Amino acid sequence: MLADVYEYSEVMENYLLEMEKIKTFRKEQISQAIVEMCRVLRIAKVQVEYYYSPQDEVEHKAVVDVFFEEGEADYTRPYKAREVTNGGTITICSMFERKDGPAWDAEDLERVHVFQKSFFAYTGRMRLLDLLDKFTMTDVPLDVRNMRFVMKQIGQMIAQKKVLEFGYCYFNLKSFSLVNERVGRDPATGLMKEYVHRLQNKLAKPGVVGRIGGDNFVVMFLKDNLEIVRSHLHGEVLTYNEETGESLSISAKAGYFLPEIRDIIRTPEDIMDRIGSAMALAKSRKDTDEIFFSEEMERRRTEAKKIENSFPEAIRNNEFKVYYQPKVNLHDYHLVGAEALCRWIRNDHVISPGVFIPVLEQSANVCRLDFYMLEKVCRDIRRWLDDGKEPVRVSFNLSRRHLGDVDLLKHILDIIDGNRVPHEYIEVELTETTTDVEFNDLKKIVNGLHEVGIATSVDDFGTGYSSINLIREVPWNVLKLDKSFLPTAEDDKSYDSTMLRHVIAMAQDMGLECIVEGVETEEHVKLLQDCKCFMAQGFFFDRPMPVLDFEQRLARKNEFFWPKKDC
């Protein structure tokens, strides 16, 4: 007998106790318990072969794990056991005794047998946990870690007070929809996989790349690896056709956060908020592909949190007010329309849309606000009709956030028809899209509104997906030109109106109404008249005004209007 009965009993008891604690793959404690058992039983090597089907066993296609190896094994006398599951997978566990020393006797073999039987339970549980890890902590298509795993890793670094040793990055692959179009979806997925695997291989452990979804990823990296990450995200050349050697460069927009001791970090979400903010700013900038989170961004983030937290209460208290900015016909200077603009009035203080709209657009809150505004506009129009006033067509802005809503048309019609507002009094303003998916959604909603007689206008023309396709394929009613088409004081005599003239002429040739916003001077008015554009909106005529003031303008809508001195 090789082992003292008391020593064996103690080691086996410890081994079985550790077996009960298994919660993660090859936990350190159970590994040590296995080592102790093998030494007591004079086992030189424990090897497990996994076959996923009987055919794999015939063809010797095994996944082999060695759980213990110490000293010289006697391969002539393996102690083997084979187990087949109901699913057809096969596990073969082989235990080899040490060459130095006497051979196992009957009692030793019985103890090895007991150890081996329990070891099957251990390896089975480990394989199950391995699969569980694969499907819950891994993005299977790309074979990289997912957000759940990365958040868990960050949480561990916070708990171990090591969070300051790392940098964090949120990145989005640039124009990857174009890569899909160029090489096809499956090859594009292969390129994405190679791109992120290259980055993962460059990182020192425990650095990790995780997929958020689509072409969005997050990276946790040791701060010493910052330049490695930056260099990779600036661009990697990948070959997509081995036969022809055709290649392309893939790069990314990125938001970084390098925490310092002054930063308060309690949860992984504190980090995700920061890199998310930096990423959003990077995507909005044309002059750079990367943004590092800063103290100024922290201040803005704190303000954004206040806005987000105040929004539900503000909605309940009707703090958001509709302000109307008139649209004027430049033939006779009559009021012919208005744009509904949102103003947030809290404690008698007006909060600028430039402050709260970008914050709300980061979530579905902007959609809630849009519907709130449409409801207010429809109630005003209904009241004007009931009072015997003749309304003008009112436009309101609809965020691109709505474009993924398959029931968007129904939601809009429910509000308009619920207030019994004739469709000719409503115009929906939408900005240009930036992706092919958004473009298809935009086309669908504009077609739906067109069919029910609701006018639509395209805002910020010339900055998005494809301006020519936008007005050629979508049945717009109005083309709204930004004030950037107009000369500024700095332009002086260097201004060239050629672009403005051509855009206006093109729009009118296609049957679109054309309106220019940001009209601020008499020179602007004369320029538009020269260019045959007779719809204008801007401070030259009126600033956005509260509903009661606008109603006074509405009562005089057919009167000749020229700007007041205080406008």
Question: Is it the case that residue 144 has pLDDT exceeding 80?
Answer: yes
Computed on alpha carbons and rounded to an integer, the radius of gyration of the chain in Å comes to 34
Same domain flag for 61 and 75: yes
Residues pairing with 49 in the sheet? 64, 92
Same domain flag for 152 and 38: no
Backbone dihedral region for residue 2 (phi beyond 0: left; psi -120 to 50: alpha; all else: beta) = alpha
Task: Examine residue 562 and state whether it is found in any structural domain, yes or no.
Answer: no
Place 567 in a pLDDT band, splitting at 50, 70 and 90: very low
Mean pLDDT of the chain: 86
Question: Is it the case that residue 136 has pLDDT exceeding 90?
Answer: no
Same domain flag for 79 and 206: no
Question: Is it the case that residue 501 has pLDDT exceeding 70?
Answer: yes
Place 185 in a pLDDT band, splitting at 50, 70 and 90: confident
Distance of alpha carbon 544 from alpha carbon 198, whole angstroms: 53
Question: Is it the case that residue 296 has pLDDT exceeding 90?
Answer: no
* Residues in Cβ contact with 444 at an 8 Å cutoff, skipping those fewer than 6 apart: none
Q: What is the mean pLDDT of residues 446-466?
A: 81
Q: What is the mean pLDDT of residues 554-567?
A: 68
Same domain flag for 470 and 374: yes
Say what the pLDDT of residue 83 is.
Answer: 81
Residues pairing with 253 in the sheet? 172
Predicted model pTM: 0.59
Same domain flag for 150 and 241: yes
Q: What is the mean pLDDT of residues 143-158?
A: 90
Q: What is the mean pLDDT of residues 23-27?
A: 46
**Tally of CA atoms within 13 A in the half-sphere of 436 that contains its CB:** 7
Distance of alpha carbon 238 from alpha carbon 189, whole angstroms: 12
Q: Are 375 and 419 in contact (CB under 8 A)?
A: yes
Say what the pLDDT of residue 2 is.
Answer: 46
Say what the pLDDT of residue 377 is.
Answer: 97
Place 93 in a pLDDT band, splitting at 50, 70 and 90: confident
Same domain flag for 359 and 273: no
Question: Is it the case that residue 466 has pLDDT exceeding 50?
Answer: no
Say what the pLDDT of residue 561 is.
Answer: 66
Question: Is it the case that residue 186 has pLDDT exceeding 90?
Answer: no
- Who wins on pLDDT, 264 or 393? 393
Same domain flag for 32 and 78: yes
Task: Using a pLDDT cut of 90, give the percent of the chain over it.
Answer: 49
Last residue of some domain: 136, 170, 194?
136
- Give the domain extent around 76: 5-136
Say what the pLDDT of residue 565 is.
Answer: 43
Task: Examine residue 368 and state whether it is found in any structural domain, yes or no.
Answer: yes
Backbone dihedral region for residue 512 (phi beyond 0: left; psi -120 to 50: alpha; all else: beta) = beta
**Among 106, 136, 109, residue whose Cα is nearest residue 24:** 136
Task: Examine residue 563 and state whether it is found in any structural domain, yes or no.
Answer: no
Distance of alpha carbon 113 from alpha carbon 45, whole angstroms: 15
Last residue of some domain: 293, 314, 341?
293
Q: Report the CATH number at residue 184.
A: 3.30.70.270
Q: Report the CATH number at residue 114.
A: 3.30.450
Same domain flag for 105 and 145: no
Question: Is it the case that residue 22 has pLDDT exceeding 60?
Answer: no
Condensed to tens digits (0 to 9), the pLDDT of residues 301-330 reads 788 889 999 999 999 999 999 999 999 999
Same domain flag for 75 and 146: no
Rounded to 10 degrees, the C-alpha dihedral 25/213/233/170 comes to -80
Say what the pLDDT of residue 394 is.
Answer: 97
Q: Per the structure block, which two tokens stand in for 401? A: 């956030």
Element (H, E) at 547: helix 547-555
Task: Examine residue 298 and state whether it is found in any structural domain, yes or no.
Answer: no
Q: What is the mean pLDDT of residues 461-478?
A: 71
Task: Examine residue 560 and state whether it is found in any structural domain, yes or no.
Answer: no
Domains contained in the chain, number:
3
Say what the pLDDT of residue 345 is.
Answer: 95
Distance of alpha carbon 66 from alpha carbon 68, whole angstroms: 6
Condensed to tens digits (0 to 9), the pLDDT of residues 211-234 reads 998 899 999 999 999 999 999 999
Say what the pLDDT of residue 495 is.
Answer: 78
Say what the pLDDT of residue 1 is.
Answer: 43
Q: Are 534 and 333 in contact (CB under 8 A)?
A: no
User: How crowded is residue 425: how many other Cβ atoms within 10 Å of its Cβ?
Assistant: 21
Same domain flag for 157 and 132: no
Question: Is it the case that residue 208 has pLDDT exceeding 50?
Answer: yes
Distance of alpha carbon 120 from alpha carbon 85, whole angstroms: 11
Among 283-287, 306-310, 465-469, name the one with the lowest average pLDDT: 465-469
Task: Using a pLDDT cut of 70, give the percent of the chain over it.
Answer: 87
Task: Examine residue 328 and state whether it is found in any structural domain, yes or no.
Answer: yes
Distance of alpha carbon 447 from alpha carbon 445, whole angstroms: 5
Same domain flag for 496 and 524: yes
Q: Per the structure block, which two tokens stand in for 117? A: 């039987």
The secondary structure of 151-181 as a DSSP string is HHHHHHHHHTT-GGGEEEEEEEETTHHHHHH
Among 32-41, 196-205, 391-400, 556-565, name the one with the lowest average pLDDT: 556-565
Distance of alpha carbon 508 from alpha carbon 532, whole angstroms: 9
Q: At what angle do helices 353-360 and 295-316 cross, to 10 degrees?
A: 90
Task: Examine residue 453 and state whether it is found in any structural domain, yes or no.
Answer: yes
Could you give the 3-state DSSP secondary structure of residue 19?
Answer: helix
* C-alpha pair distances (Å), 346 with each of 232, 315, 343, 366, 367: 46, 11, 10, 18, 20
Last residue of some domain: 109, 136, 163?
136
Distance of alpha carbon 111 from alpha carbon 105, whole angstroms: 10
**Among 3, 2, 35, residue whose Cα is nearest residue 101:** 2
Same domain flag for 463 and 524: yes
**Among 256, 273, 255, residue whose Cα is nearest residue 264:** 273
Q: Per the structure block, which two tokens stand in for 131? A: 């699969």
Q: Report the CATH number at residue 496.
A: 3.20.20.450
Q: Strands 246-250 and 144-146, how do they pair?
A: unpaired
Task: Examine residue 565 and state whether it is found in any structural domain, yes or no.
Answer: no
Distance of alpha carbon 328 from alpha carbon 534, whole angstroms: 8
- Who wins on pLDDT, 426 or 562? 426
